[in-house]
Amino acid sequence: MSLLLQKFPEMEVVTTHGVIKLPDHFTSQGKGFVLFSHPADFTPVCTTEFVEFQRRQEEFRKEGFELIGLSVDQVFSHIKWVDWIKEKLGVEIQFPIIADDTGEIGRTLGMIPEGKTKTVRSVYIVDKNGIVQAIITYPYDVGRNIDEILRYVKALNVSQANGVAMPANWGVDQVEWRPNSLIGNKVIIPPAADVETAKKRLEAAERGEIECFDWWFCCKSL
């Protein structure tokens, strides 16, 4: 949690695509990245996750984010597992996978619980400026919801581009559109920080330019 909204720590990592430097490898290209750890190669839940991440890779790229995996396995294990997935499942894993066989990276990022030796299912969402915008952690036995991670990336982009906040359920449209029960598909205007702005918000609501439940809870359509 201490890394949330902080600069992602600089590190040099060994991956299936060679040695790369984080976060510069992505941020130097104006891209963000989604770093996700898994307990071990050649395990069922992790295999389902990697296949799903790969199948959604282009959607993440459209949002300006690249994918990168991590576990405590050595790089040759990653390479063999990737080969197995391609041969047996017909899916080619195209994103790099970090070999953290010493566990140093996992401990630095809080991915290895006390008393354990394997990384849990952590997700670090890092924006194009190298700032950690989300940390999501799942236990060993529960696979991740890739739709939710992609939804968060989309919401982050809209929020940063427009200076707004996103309500609960915003963008849950992969299966069906389920808008927020209070404000539908509108976005939230950040609360007023002074009396004058609060007054102007209510005046704008009276003119029908925005919608407000009160001066501190206003929303609008994009």
Beta strand extents in the chain (DSSP E only): 11-15, 18-22, 32-37, 65-71, 97-99, 121-126, 132-138, 187-189, 211-214, 217-220
157: tokens are 């982009």
pLDDT digits (tens, 9 = 90+) for 32-65: 999 999 999 999 999 999 999 999 999 999 999 9
Among the listed residues 136, 91, 106, 104, the one whose alpha carbon sits nearest the alpha carbon of residue 39? 106
Q: Which domain holds residue 219?
A: 163-222
Catalytic sites, residue numbers: 46
Q: Is residue 138 included in any domain, yes or no?
A: yes
Kindly report the pTM of this predicted structure. 0.91
pLDDT computed for residue 104 by the predictor:
96
Q: Is residue 151 included in any domain, yes or no?
A: no
| Same domain, residue pair 102 and 176 | no
Give the count of domains, the chain: 2
Task: Give the number of other Cβ atoms within 10 Å of residue 66's Cβ.
Answer: 18
199: tokens are 């007054």
pLDDT digits (tens, 9 = 90+) for 138-186: 999 999 999 999 999 999 999 999 999 999 888 765 445 567 888 988 9
Rounded to 5 degrees, what are φ and ψ at 35?
A: -100, 120
Q: Supply the CATH number for residue 42's domain.
A: 3.40.30.10
| Same domain, residue pair 114 and 169 | no
Torsion of CA 114, 147, 131, 142, to 10 degrees: 0
| Same domain, residue pair 168 and 139 | no
Within 8 A by CB and 6+ apart from 28, the residues are: none
| Same domain, residue pair 93 and 178 | no
| Same domain, residue pair 103 and 172 | no
CA distance 36 to 67: 8
pLDDT computed for residue 37 by the predictor:
97
pLDDT digits (tens, 9 = 90+) for 80-137: 999 999 999 999 999 999 999 999 999 999 999 999 999 999 999 999 999 999 999 9
pLDDT greater than 80 at residue 194: yes
